[in-house]
Amino acid sequence: MHRQSISPYKNLRAALAVLVGHLAVLALVVVHPTHARTEIKSEGQPQAVTADFIIEETRARDAVPIPEVSVATQVLRLDSLQALRYESSDWGDISAVVAPASAPQLSHFQPVDPASFARHAGLPADQARSVVLTVEVLADGRSGAIEMTRGTGDAAVDKAALAYARQLRWIPGTQNRRAQAMRVSLPVTLVWNRVPG
């Protein structure tokens, strides 16, 4: 077996290096003239300890008063509104496009879920059924008249698809930069998924 021998001077050298480092830092603190000096004395004895305050007092960050801000209210007159502009993130950058007409689009936020209509129609879990409807989109974004273009042959599913389409919300189409009622073709797929567990 080979044993390593440890020099007794190795630990002594390390301890001396640490001591020299501490003395150097202490010398900087005691000798530095810009810091306030506090002397601690015991009664009847000469100076016992001298200490410096390294952290200088600064104003706290939260002591600065917050400027007062006032917000002016703007009045919007509805009779001055001449054009409605609807945008979708799906379109990309359309800032350079000025079109006098646009087709209706489904709103990104819908108040209904097609899964609840699929369950109400009696569809088994994970079984999808599709229909195609013609929907009149009114100028206020609601669904108007709805016709079945292609049904499933199952009256309950067709009725559920019509009820679903009646509750959809739309971004209305425009003509001459004004919202107009328009008809669109809408495929609807009703399905619900069983939650595993």
Q: What is the pLDDT of residues 147-192, one digit of tens each?
A: 999 999 999 999 999 999 999 998 888 888 788 899 999 999 999 8
**Whose CA is closest to 51, among 34, 39, 33, 35?**
39
Q: Position 195: which residue type?
A: V
Angle, CA 28 vertex, CA 25 and CA 32 arms, to 5°: 155
Cα(193)–Cα(114) distance, rounded to whole angstroms?
A: 11
Percent of the chain with pLDDT over 90: 25
Name which residue leads in pLDDT, 160 or 84: 160
Question: pTM for this structure?
Answer: 0.50
Spatial neighbors of 172 by CB under 8 A, at least 6 apart, are 86, 104, 137, 138, 139, 140, 141, 179, 180, 181, 182
CATH code for residues 99-190: 3.30.2420
Q: What confidence score (pLDDT) does residue 69 get?
A: 73
Render pLDDT for 10-41 as a digit per residue (tens, 0 to 9): 677 778 888 888 887 777 666 555 544 445 55
Instruction: Tell me where in the chain the CATH 3.30.2420 domain(s) lie.
Output: 99-190
